Structure 1
Amino acid sequence: MGESARALITSVTDRFTEWSPAAEGASAGDGPIGWLGYDDARSRAARRTGESESVVCGGAVLDGVEAVLVTFEFGFLGGSIGEATAARIATAFQRARQRRLPVVSLVATGGSRMQEGMRALTQLHVLAREVAATRAAGLPQIAVLRDPTTGGGWATLGAGADVVLALRGAQVGFAGSRVRPEGDPDAYTAEAHRDTGQVDQLVDPAEVRTTLGRWLRLLTTPAGRAADPPRALGTSTVSPTGWDAVVRARSPQRPRAQRYLDDYFAWREPIRGDRAGGVDDGVECGFGWRDGVTIAYAAQLGTPTRPAGFRTAARLVRTADRLGVPVLTLVDTPGAAADGAAERAGVGPAIAELFEAIASARVPVTSALIGEGGSGGALAFAAPGHLWVAPDSYFSVTSPEAAAAILKRSADEIPVTADELRLRPSDVVQLGIARSVLRH
């Protein structure tokens, strides 16, 4: 079960002020559906935990950032969600919107409260409505999944948050431990949910305070203008031919996105996955700290980008747009993954999703081509009119090899084809695709 709600609040906050719940008139006859013994069970839970419900809500300061805190007490009827629980949470979210504060949910729940039947289950609509309204208001939501986080608590406050953190080893899943089918116990772990892109980060209990503080600072301090393009980190010389540009971009010695991100940001925190079971380790997305403000980033790491990579980048852009955070994208891929698995996973719709996210973003998006710019898989990461190119990069409608094959040319003609494609950085600028070549 882990530590109590009060102990957890003390460990992660600088200051906490509990909000007295609104009047919670007890339903006659053992709750809303007359469950025999429910009143006694609540009384025992209250004596055992010192709480009157399974959630404690209030205003808090975490690492100097003011927030609204929703903390579950698992010792009170398994942290289950009933009408009074949902009412307290709804009030907390409403106060967050009134005060323009982020919401942090420290979740530990077994799901809906059986003793309230369907009246309890329908409280998930209440929670979903508050999550959606807070999202529409442009306020950040962070969830920390404790052990266990199952049922409706996971499917609303947990999975509905902008950033999902989870304690290592925690049980996480829609199905609780007493009702899930046998056969795959590892699927119901925080680690498995991170592997499948449903959890952004795993944290140890001792890391929760620091990690929450970093995330709150990132999500509440957006830069007030477009992100500056990065400085070039590789060669500064101009490629004499198109094929030379391709060779340079493909060189193992050429700086990759990780070096650019390390050089650009003082520190950063990543998000992971497309929230639909997909992860592409060839794409890194997250939020970074630069000159005292936050810039979001989506970076290709030089591999063929898979559907989950495009969807994760689209998720990043949409989240940043909602929170008013400008975005930096780093373009570097030989192209979108083209194998059968990528097609079955919807690579075309995934690319369309990212194109749409960038095209509809209200925040400025700055892009830098730092290596290979292979066809539409690269273009999807590039903001039109706001693209810069590194000296050791190229951008092409397709690879010179593919272009030669399409035109029924021999392998010997690939270098000539590269020249004809006008794919060098200077060509891309002259064609009006990029604004200029990055400087050191």
Structure 2
Amino acid sequence: MSERMSERMSARDAIAAVTRDFTELPLPEGEFPEDGPLAWAGYDAARARATERTGETESVVPGVATIEGRPCVLVSFEFGFLGGSLGRRTGDRLEAAYETARERRLPLVSLIATGGSRMQEGVLALAQLQRVARQSALLREAGLPQIAVVRDPTTGGGWATLGAGADVVLALPGVQIGFAGSRVRPADADPAAYRAEGQLAAGQIDAIVRKEELRGVLAGWLTLLGGARPTGPAPVPEAFGTSGLPEDGWDAVSRARAAGRPRAEAYLDAYFPHRQALVGDRCGGVDPGMLCGFGLHAGASYAYAAQTGTATRPAGYRAAARLIRLADRLGIPVLTLIDTPGAANDAEAERAGQGAAIADAFAAVASARVPVTTLVIGEGGSGGALALTSPDRTWVTADSYFSVIAPELAAAILKRDASQVRPTASQLRLRPQDLVELGVARGVLGA
């Protein structure tokens, strides 16, 4: 049996994989016309066979659970019941789950395995997606997180609402994911695009998690997103070492560009004893040079968006904006680490909407109601760095600089030769101590 097929758990098996403490919600049934709202011949018989085969009376099992002590509302799909499809009664159960989450102020975790809307109920089944979308929007307005675990398969409207619409999307290895199911997609379609691994590479999911690790990963996310909120801004990270202040502008640039300088990973590892990543921009892109996620620092949850020293691509800005908006909605302060020579300016970046992506990052920071703390740990390259920089809570390390333009480019624009790059760097007043004097930064760390 393939790894993918082995993940086709029943709804109850999926629940058992993540918790031993599950209380099923009272199930709203109501009246149901013979053979459903379309009088589809044989529908009642098909439902009866599905119940006999699975022991369930619908395709979802909703309840309240604790996952390693973290309470949540848990919804598990039964793919063996008519392909886990959504019908009117499925919508009733999902609505009850969302309402319970709002009433009890609990996160919602969905263990999804569905082929989409139930054709035996026609457009009335399709309309259940609007109910789910509405309930999801209400949960977002209430500041409560939604976590999806994608099982095999997850396609159609179930993926496009409960799955892709969640704040954090996890998937089991090798599972089928996509809006188009296997029987309706083009015959020449690349099958890799419809697997968890392909969706992760395209920035559509956040992580692939093995079944035996799922409980711990979910507990971690529930702790980060559903726990107590910090009472103030993210504390400024400690700088590595004490290297003294740079003598001139070019010294600052050279130190910031040094290959051996500590990078974002080192700062994040020192700051967060536990952290989990959000991956991708949900628009088909991943920028490895932007690290986003949530972590615990001194027992409190903070969000982070960290540049790693490369030119930031559109997917990186969109991922960071996604992270900041989620943190803002959940009331979690944000930490940004700035380290980029600037925004990527190649043709591919332009085609991917670099300008709009940077604008989105600026807007996310500007509109955040939670405090944003920034530490410039390396290169602060123009607007590509400024887009993720706090306007009022920024610090700089002694091995950093921030400039409107790279000194080499400034010299070129001014028609100066290479010998003038160094004095041009000083004219730009980009040293960390210059930034404090100019009021751009509050202080220098590691001097």
Normalised by the length of structure 2, the TM-score is: 0.97
Partner SS for 2:310: coil
Q: Is the 8 A contact 1:110 1:149 kept in 2?
A: yes
Which 4+ residue blocks in structure 1 deviate beyond 3 angstroms? none
1:288 alignment counterpart: 295
The 5 Å alignment of 1:224-243 reads 224-243=231-250
1:197 paired residue among 203, 225, 239: 203
Query: Partner of 1:4 in structure 2?
Result: 10
Asked whether the 8 Å contact 2:241–2:446 carries over to 1, the reply is no
- Is the Cα–Cα contact under 8 Å of residues 234 and 391 in structure 1 kept in the other structure? no
1:129-168 equivalences in 2 (<5 Å): 129-168=134-173
Q: Structure 2: which amino acid aligns with 1:258?
A: E
Of 256, 260, 270 in structure 1, the residue corresponding to residue 263 of structure 2 is 256
CA distance in structure 2 between the aligned counterparts of 1:20 and 1:115, rounded to whole angstroms: 25
Cα distance between partner residues in 1 of 2:29 and 2:173: 37
Matching residue's letter, 2:147: I
Distance between the aligned counterparts of 2:400 and 2:356, measured in 1? 27
CA distance in 1, matches of 2:43, 2:241: 68
Task: Tell me the CA shift for residue 346 of structure 1.
Answer: 1.1
AA matched with 2:158: G
Note the alpha carbon deviations across 1:387-408, whole angstroms, 9 max, x for none.
0000000000010001111111
Please report how far the alpha carbon of residue 235 of structure 1 lies from its aligned counterpart in structure 2 after TM superposition: 4.1
State the AA in 1 paired with 2:157.
Answer: G
2:49 counterpart SS class: helix
Please point out which of 175, 185, 192 is paired with 1:186.
192
**What are the ranges of 5 or more consecutive residues in structure 1 without an aligned counterpart?**
none
Partner amino acid for 1:133?
L
Q: Does residue 1:36 correspond to 2:58, yes or no?
A: no
Deviation at 1:25, TM superposition (A): 1.2
**C-alpha contact (below 8 Å) 1:234/1:254 kept by paired residues:** no
1:219 maps to 225
Q: 1:347 deviation in Å?
A: 0.8
Select the residue among 61, 65, 77 that pairs with 2:66.
Answer: 61
CA distances 1:51-99 after superposition (whole Å, capped 9, x unpaired) = 0000000100011111000100111111010000011001110111011
Which residue pairs with 1:415 in the alignment?
422
TM-score by length of 1: 0.98
* C-alpha distance in 2 between matches for 1:393 and 1:261: 17
Greater shift in the superposed pair: 217-226 or 207-216? 217-226
Whole-angstrom CA distance in 2 between matches of 1:242 and 1:136: 47
Matches of residues 12-411 of structure 1 in structure 2 within 5 Å?
A: 12-28=18-34, 30-183=35-188, 184-221=190-227, 222-411=229-418
Question: Take 2:374 and 2:336, find their aligned partners in 1: how far apart are those partners?
Answer: 5
Kindly provide the amino acid, as one letter, of the partner of residue 217 in structure 1: T
Change (3 A) 1:237 1:439: closer
- Letter paired with 2:26: S
TM-superposition CA deviations, 1:356-380 (whole Å, max 9, x none) = 1011000000000000001000011
Q: Tell me the distance in 2 between the aligned counterparts of 1:81 and 1:24.
A: 16
Shift of 1:22: 1.5
Counterpart of 1:391 in structure 2: which amino acid? A
